[in-house]
């Protein structure tokens, strides 16, 4: 996919985000870290994403070498996606993001709970 990123002078964080940036790419990669998945499985695992968006994100990840697409000559055709060895190198980053998100969610839930209790007292 064509990106507006200067590979010679651009920031390294920007390079990473050019590959896994966006709302659905990290989520799709996380699901594929668990093993091969068919498109329908990925669609069920990301119910808030449209089929078109999942397709576009999968194509970009495939073009960047993060995932591999396997098409089987069957009727009806079967397509499976899996993480590549290169894509597996993102696992550490995504695990840290998941851990941070878990802590953030717990913090927000605690804040919301404190606010509800304050409203009940008033």
Domain range list for the chain: 12-89
How confident is the model at residue 99, as a pLDDT?
94
The CATH number of the domain covering residues in 12-89: 1.10.10.10
How confident is the model at residue 119, as a pLDDT?
63
The answer to whether residues 122 and 67 touch, using CB atoms and an 8 Å cutoff, is no
The answer to whether residues 54 and 39 touch, using CB atoms and an 8 Å cutoff, is yes
Q: Which helix (H) or strand (E) holds 37?
A: strand 37-38
pLDDT in tens, the chain (122 residues): 445 666 676 788 888 888 898 899 999 999 999 999 999 999 999 999 999 999 999 999 999 999 999 999 988 889 999 999 999 999 999 999 999 999 999 999 998 887 777 666 55
**Cis status, amide bond into 76, omega within 30 of 0:** yes
Backbone phi, then psi, for 56, in 5-degree steps? Answer: -60, -45
Tally DSSP H helices, then E strands, for the chain.
Answer: 6, 3
């Amino acid at each position: 996919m064509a990106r507006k990123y200067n590979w010679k002078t651009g920031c390294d964080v920007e390079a990473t985000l050019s590959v896994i940036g966006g709302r659905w790419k990290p989520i799709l990669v996380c699901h594929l870290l668990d093993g091969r998945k068919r498109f329908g499985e990925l669609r069920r695992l990301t119910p808030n994403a449209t089929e078109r968006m999942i397709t576009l994100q999968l194509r970009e990840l495939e073009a960047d070498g993060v995932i591999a697409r396997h098409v089987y000559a069957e009727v009806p055709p079967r397509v499976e996606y899996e993480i590549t060895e290169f894509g597996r190198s993102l696992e550490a980053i995504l695990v840290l993001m998941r851990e941070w998100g878990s802590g953030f969610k717990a913090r927000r839930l605690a804040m919301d709970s404190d606010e509800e209790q304050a409203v009940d007292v008033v």
